[in-house]
Amino acid sequence: MTVITCIPPLAALPYNTLVVAAGVAAVGCAAGVVGCFAMLRRRALVGDAAAHASLAGVAGAFLLTGRRDLPMLLAGAFAAAAAGMVALVLVRRFTRTRDDAATAIVIGVAFGLGIMLVSGIPRWGFAGSAGLEQMLLGHTAAVTVADATLLATVSLLAMAVVACFTKEATLVAFDAAFAAAAGWPVAAIDVALLGLVAAMVVTGLPAAGAVLVTALLVIPPVAARQWTDRVGPLLVLAGAIGLAAALAGVAVSATVPGLPTGPLVVLAAATVCGVSLLAAPGRGLVARRIERAAVTRRAIRGMLIDACRREADAADATFDHAAVVGAVAGDGPRERRSVSRAWDDLVRQGLIEPLAAGPRWRLTPAGRGAAAERSRRRDGWLRLMETAPDEVRAGLTIDLPAPAATPTATAGKGVP
């Protein structure tokens, strides 16, 4: 609580809102953590099936107890989510229906059942059912202090379970076959994972609603995955992103009247995810674009220096700028631009230099060394490709020049 009151946009909010924010933040954090394993196990949308099924459970629990009491409703939702998962497993086990269709069937039919029951409750004369429909899109403002405490407790428990079984879950997520062979109870671990997913879906219901709670499970892990290749940091980061998104969503919806909290939390998480997909170092789109450009530029430099040496060998150890660039670049203006950038690189690296007299250029000693090294490596690869058995050659993925452009072995002998 004290942490939350320190955050500027939240500090001015009434106590009740803060309690709700704490509950929702705990849910966001735990859902992010649990979602990591669902993502790694390639079952990201299993949570979606559980979420859609939970609505029927909410309605069923209300029909049975006749009261709108959050713990009861959530218990019903959990039972229905678990039943949805069982249905999924049964369809996979006993029919020819493929996984994607099985998931879609559970989503559609279970949600239909939920809507049927929810629509029936008031028409069948049950009083006090108002607000059940809000489980569809979430209605954070209706969460009481006791409810928030419940949500936070379940979330903390879920995170504790994940913390205790990280090793086992990681093993199953990355190599289920090995885990089974090594004697780990893979089925039990999977069931536990599904149970955790169902629990998080149900806890997320009051905050985000049945349709959007999947987002809390899916988006933070996808965002966190961009920044790390290790499971520990992934869990921490996904939890942090979920938490931050929840707080941001609550803060915005509290300051701007009329905006629903759940979708805002999802949009906050989606923003983080978009930024991560674009800007994360290593895996991000921008980083990979830059890396690819650097690789291309290096390749062009290599082609240029080869061309320089060919020209130099053909003439009096000097060459013409236009001839070399023309040999490497095609006709396109973009291609010519990137080739002349690579030319400038070579000059800057001291591999080629202009002659003191006249417009012609020559390779420096360092440039000749670099060209010789390239040709030595290429000859090595060519020998390997010629002598290697077919099955090895098929696995070699080096971009060799087309045969016509391959310099003959004699070309290398001119190098001092």
What token pair was written down for 252?
A: 């915005």
In the list 21, 27, 29, 45, the residue contacting another protein (rule: CB under 8 A) is 45
Residue 238: closest CA among 15, 33, 403: 33
| CB nearer another protein, residue 173 or residue 371 | 173
Strand partners of residue 362: 353
Residue 46: closest CA among 184, 214, 179, 190: 214
Phi/psi of residue 150, each to 5°?
-60, -50
| CB nearer another protein, residue 272 or residue 303 | 272
| CB nearer another protein, residue 49 or residue 199 | 49
In the list 42, 292, 377, 393, the residue contacting another protein (rule: CB under 8 A) is 42
Residue 205: closest CA among 118, 117, 122, 143: 143
| CB nearer another protein, residue 139 or residue 310 | 139
Strand partners of residue 319: 361
Residue 100: closest CA among 88, 110, 112: 88
**Is 198 in contact with 79 (CB distance < 8 Å)?**
no
Identify the H or E element spanning 88.
helix 70-94
Q: Report the nearest approach of another protein to the CB of residue 303 (Å).
A: 28
**Is 80 in contact with 53 (CB distance < 8 Å)?**
yes
Q: Is 255 in the site for another protein (CB under 8 A)?
A: no
What's the rounded Cα separation, in Å, for the pair 123 and 89? 34
In one-letter notation, the amino acid at residue 215 is A
Q: Write the CA distances from 330 to 295, 301, 324, 337, 413, integer angstroms.
A: 19, 15, 12, 11, 29
| CB nearer another protein, residue 52 or residue 309 | 52
Distance of alpha carbon 172 from the chain centroid: 19
In total, the chain counts a number of residues equal to: 416
In the list 72, 75, 86, 104, the residue contacting another protein (rule: CB under 8 A) is 104
**Is 36 in contact with 217 (CB distance < 8 Å)?**
no
Q: Is 236 in the site for another protein (CB under 8 A)?
A: no
Beta strand spans in 125-226 (E): none
Identify the H or E element spanning 101.
helix 99-123
Q: Write the CA distances from 101 to 81, 91, 97, 109, 238, integer angstroms.
A: 18, 10, 6, 12, 29
Q: Report the nearest approach of another protein to the CB of residue 258 (Å).
A: 7
In the list 214, 307, 308, 361, the residue contacting another protein (rule: CB under 8 A) is 214
Q: Is 111 in the site for another protein (CB under 8 A)?
A: yes
From 67-75, 78-86, 266-274, 397-405, give the range in contact with another protein by CB under 8 A: 266-274
In the list 67, 98, 292, 298, the residue contacting another protein (rule: CB under 8 A) is 98
From 182-190, 215-223, 320-328, 361-369, give the range in contact with another protein by CB under 8 A: 215-223
Distance of alpha carbon 344 from the chain centroid: 38
Q: Report the nearest approach of another protein to the CB of residue 281 (Å).
A: 14
In the list 32, 76, 242, 263, the residue contacting another protein (rule: CB under 8 A) is 263
| CB nearer another protein, residue 146 or residue 293 | 293
Size of the site for another protein (CB under 8 A): 64
- Radius of gyration of the chain from its Cα atoms, rounded to whole angstroms: 31
**Is 203 in contact with 44 (CB distance < 8 Å)?**
no
In the list 283, 297, 321, 336, the residue contacting another protein (rule: CB under 8 A) is 283
In the list 123, 334, 348, 413, the residue contacting another protein (rule: CB under 8 A) is 123
From 2-10, 273-281, 382-390, 397-405, give the range in contact with another protein by CB under 8 A: 273-281
| CB nearer another protein, residue 114 or residue 242 | 114
Q: Is 70 in the site for another protein (CB under 8 A)?
A: no
Q: Report the nearest approach of another protein to the CB of residue 314 (Å).
A: 43
In the list 14, 94, 334, 395, the residue contacting another protein (rule: CB under 8 A) is 94
In the list 79, 88, 219, 312, the residue contacting another protein (rule: CB under 8 A) is 219
Residues that bind another protein (CB under 8 A): 39, 42-45, 48, 52, 91, 94-98, 100-105, 107-120, 123-124, 133, 136-137, 211-212, 214-215, 217-219, 221-222, 225-226, 258-260, 262-264, 266-267, 270, 273, 277-278, 283-285
